[in-house]
Amino acid sequence: MVPDPYDVVFKSTDENGNVVANKSNGVIRDYPRKNPYDTKPGEKPYVLEIVWRNVFIMLYAHCAALKVFWTPCQLSTILIAVGYGILGSWGIAAGAHRLMAHKSYKANRNLQLLLIFFQTIALQNSCIEWVRDHRVHHKYSDTNADPHNASRGFFFSHMGWLLCKKHPDVRKYGSRISMADLECDPVLRFQHKYYVWLVLLISLSIPIFISTYIFGDTFSAAYHMNIFRIVLAWHITWSINSVSHIWGNRPFEKDILPTDTFIIGFLAFGEGWHNFHHVYPWDYKVSELPNYYCNFTIPFIDFFAWLGWATDLKMASDEMIRKRIMKSGDGTHRYSIEEAKKKKTAKELLDLFNNKVLQKSNPHELEGDFADTYWGYGDNDIPEEEIKDITILKPTKGK
């Protein structure tokens, strides 16, 4: 019997598959640096290698996407692209991201299959590849081991990382992140193996067929509208890696690059509250905001929780959030401001603001303690006390 791929808790492993000790047993691990050209003793100097095939693919995709503005198309074709774009966004946000990468909730087989189908629509690599890169990103955020290291600048973290070979540290340290929970799933292995053919069928052929043969639009209009839909979704996703690592507030942890960015939160279906997300990667809401505030993935997951298809929805408690804000936030959160108003005079409040916001430490200059970072629920580096404090909604029956 194949184990439930979303119910596996495992430890980080090295290149040979051996368990790597974590901070709890006092073993210090070797961690990557932020400057790609800052090599360690015995390492070869880093040389940037452009992957020209990817450059030409990206150039063609963007030119084909822009051509839609000079190609007349029917309203039905636009609506199909919008609908397909929404499904693809849920496939990434609710599927590859919150379910598979971070294990922030559990899904039954029906929901898993639906999300894999939706994720294929987005054309952002197979689920296994997407999750692998994302877990490494969280574990070694903004270092040379991060596939889209924001310390290397806006363009690199946005899309440049897709146009060149990975830094050696991405493979070296990434091999320590186990993917056993996904690689044991035959459906995900099938999607990974036949990804190109599945994309041609699901992401392109189906919407083009509907637009041309059912609604009578031209092939050119249907084709270029779908390429535009794909490229637009790429840039929204990439903006989480670039924009949300540069501009915005850091109300939960001021000493990391990820920020909370409203516009990205809105466009990316709730994925823009990135500072919160890097502090609590296992929270299924990816934000601490109430209700469905600019987070269109929460009602999607909640609907399937109501159906009984999604269970064990993990969430940070208000007390956990408040403590973290007061401990390490940048002072921009309403909790910080309310607390300051209670205790400080006007002059002291101004001093507090200057110290915490205007003169806060520069995350670009910090070397993080990676023993305190983890990719989500199941990473062996999560503190036991944090696991105990996690609020679980719709717990699995019998547990």
Q: Is 8 a member of any domain?
A: no
Percent of the chain scored above 90 by pLDDT? 62
Pairwise CA distance, residues 245 & 229, whole Å? 24
b (16+ CB within 10 A) / e for 282-315? bbbbbbbbeeeebbbbbebbbebbeeebbbbbbb
Residue 249 token pair: 């507030």
Look up the domain containing 195 and give its range. 23-393
Write down the pLDDT at residue 378: 73
| DSSP SS3 for 51 | coil
Residue 12 lies in a domain: no
**Is 190 a domain residue?**
yes
Pick from 83, 80, 122: nearest CA to 216: 80
- Domain assignment present for residue 4? The answer is no
Candidates 77, 114, 354; CA nearest to 226 is: 77
**Per-residue pLDDT tens over the stretch 326-384:** 888 888 877 667 666 666 555 565 565 555 544 445 554 444 444 467 667 777 777 77
CA–CA dist 214, 79 (Å, integer) = 14
CA dihedral 89, 95, 97, 100 (to 10 degrees): -170
For all residues of the chain together, what is the average pLDDT? 84
Please report which confidence band the pLDDT of residue 150 belongs to, taking 50, 70 and 90 as the band edges. very high
More confident residue, 384 or 147: 147
Banded model confidence at residue 88, pLDDT cuts 50, 70, 90:
very high
In a domain? residue 13? no
- What is the per-residue pLDDT for 326? 87
Residue 279 is predicted with a pLDDT of: 93
Is the confidence at residue 204, as pLDDT, over 50? yes
Of the listed ranges 2-16, 219-233, 308-322, the one predicted with least confidence: 2-16
> How far is it, in rounded angstroms, from Cα 227 to Cα 81?
9
Whole-number pLDDT of residue 377: 75
SS3 category, 19: strand
Count the domains in the chain. 1
Instruction: Look at residue 17 and tell me if it is in a domain.
Output: no
Q: Is the pLDDT of residue 123 over 90?
A: yes
- The more confident residue out of 32 and 127 is 127
Say yes or no to pLDDT of 128 above 70.
Answer: yes
Each residue's pLDDT tens digit, 252-277? 999 899 999 999 999 999 999 999 99
- Write down the pLDDT at residue 352: 56
> How high is the pLDDT of residue 330?
83
Within-domain flag for 129: yes
Give the separation between CA 270 and CA 284, rounded to whole angstroms: 11
Q: Decide: helix, strand or coil at residue 391.
A: strand
- Whether 219 is covered by a domain: the verdict is yes
* 279: enclosing H helix or E strand: helix 274-279
pLDDT digits (tens, 9 = 90+) for 209-243: 999 999 999 999 999 999 999 999 999 999 999 99
